[in-house]
Structure 1
Amino acid sequence: MSANLRNGSESSSSSLNSSFHDTEDDQTIARILAEEQTLNTGSSRQLGRRLSHLDSIPHTPRVNGEIPDVNDATLDHETLSERLVTYGLSELQMEGDGNCQFRALADQLFRKPDYHKYVRRQVIKQLKHQKKLYEAYVPMEYKSYIKQMKKSGEWGDHVTLQAAADRFDAKICLVTSFRDTCYIEILPTNKRPTRELWLSFWSEVHYNSLYTNGDVPTRHPKKKYWLF
């Protein structure tokens, strides 16, 4: 019994410490965001000019579809790679740990992919507080969807991208591997975007952060990438 109590106490203490650090991190990151409103303005303008002639398809939030088989995924990756070369864009590779969408958003917002936990928390807050904006696009019980999406490693989808656009007042620009379109813009709902975030989307497999060629920062990932 005493061992169980000790273990429970340690677990509770660990949870409290984790909660404290999360709050502390949120405050730090929020301050950085407030101080760095123009952090990626120059870079995003360059990217925007390169793709300004492309038509964007209307964005409809949706949950993730089925992961393609190896042959289709390989073809999709080649398509995406060719498009990036065509437009002079390069990817900063995100870790393939299930958090890649949130890592890519954190990189675009803060130049720090490790802030992905903060970004996920902000997206979850948006989903909770503005349920009416998103629940129609979720083909499951909404509370269950949020509970699932809160977990680290749970793949982000196009519903979370819309929530991120709304939460951060951002236009999220996706260069995709879709065969019928290479470019999607996700705009904040009923707001004017104050920043642009540029991501690549290897359909149903992986997200990376986009830069113009020669501007990709040097990073040292802790885990292997999603790469062929």
Structure 2
Amino acid sequence: MNRYNDEGASSSSTSQSSQQTETDDDRMIAIVLSEEYANMDNAVAKRLSSLSSIPHVPRINTCIPNYNDASFDHERLFQRLNAYGLQEKKVSGDGNCQFRALSDQLFRSPEYHKNVRKDVVRQLKEFRSLYEGYVPMKYKKYCKKMAKSGEWGDHVTLQAAADKFVAKVCLLTSFRDTCFVEIIPQSEAPQRELWLSFWSEVHYNSLYDAQELAVRSKPRKKHWLF
């Protein structure tokens, strides 16, 4: 019985060690990707520097718009993208789109969305007093809900992301009354900008200058994996 427990503990320890190594490898690759494209961070900001934003109020998701409203909103967003010479890097609409889009802006890949979600939820839990007032439900239930893969991010998680990553999160939106929203870190000056498109209450994508995205779309040798 004791030997079985020892073997089980050893197997569990090995598994945890392997998972930690994979996580560390993922983060190292993400850091390299981020550094490779650091010089491109301000491309969208320069294009939209003349826009003024509305004040951001963190809130949870409201109901999904009906088909007609959603269609009009999408067309409005499409026209704005064209007007400013911008293009979306589309991410999967699997319920993780906000975190995928943030991952792409942070690490130039949407595949680190699980890490981004974990960091955002940790921010929500550790600094409860900053966000609890915007959540109209039991706060622990809200955090538990947001920790689940596939759960839609909202404007509260965007504020937590801005605070966690010390970044100004900028949204080009489909809102009728404004096309631009800025989300500023609450306690520090932002160190970078993260640009997302927001089809209101439906989907987020990562946002780039159209010419920049064309250059980035060309195949690149993944030298960091060797």
- Bucket of the pairwise TM-score, normalised by the shorter protein: 0.7 to 0.9
| RMSD of aligned residue pairs (Cα, Å) | 2.4
Secondary structure in 1 matching 2:113: helix
Instruction: Quote the Cα distance in structure 1 between the aligned partners of 2:131 and 2:28.
Output: 28
CA 1:178–1:29: 2 relative to 1, 3 Å: same
Q: What TM-score results when the alignment is normalised by the length of structure 2?
A: 0.84
Instruction: Quote the Cα distance in structure 1 between the aligned partners of 2:154 and 2:174.
Output: 15
* Native 8 Å contact 2:100 2:113 kept in 1: yes
Matches within 5 A, 1:39-188: 40-188=37-185
Give % identity: 56
Instruction: List per-residue Cα deviations over 1:8-62 (Å, max 9, x = no partner).
Output: x9xxx89x95x66664454345445666765554323121111111111111111
CA 1:104–1:22: 2 relative to 1, 3 Å: farther
* Native 8 Å contact 2:198 2:204 kept in 1: yes
* Native 8 Å contact 1:41 1:195 kept in 2: no
Instruction: Quote the Cα distance in structure 2 between the aligned partners of 1:156 and 1:131.
Output: 17
Greater helix percent: which structure?
Answer: 2
Q: What letter is aligned with 2:171?
A: L
Q: What letter is aligned with 1:57?
A: I
Unaligned 5+ residue runs, structure 1? Answer: 1-8, 220-228
Instruction: Quote the Cα distance in structure 1 between the aligned partners of 2:90 and 2:56.
Output: 24
CA 1:96–1:28: 2 relative to 1, 3 Å: same
* Native 8 Å contact 1:109 1:197 kept in 2: yes
Q: What letter is aligned with 1:218?
A: S
Matches within 5 A, 1:177-216: 177-216=174-213
Q: What letter is aligned with 1:27?
A: D
Instruction: Quote the Cα distance in structure 2 between the aligned partners of 1:26 and 1:189.
Output: 29
1:222 maps to none
* Native 8 Å contact 2:98 2:152 kept in 1: yes
1:226 maps to none
Report the structure number with the largest CA radius of gyration. 2
CA 1:102–1:20: 2 relative to 1, 3 Å: farther
2:222 maps to none
* Native 8 Å contact 2:167 2:184 kept in 1: yes
Runs of 4 or more above 6 Å deviation:
none
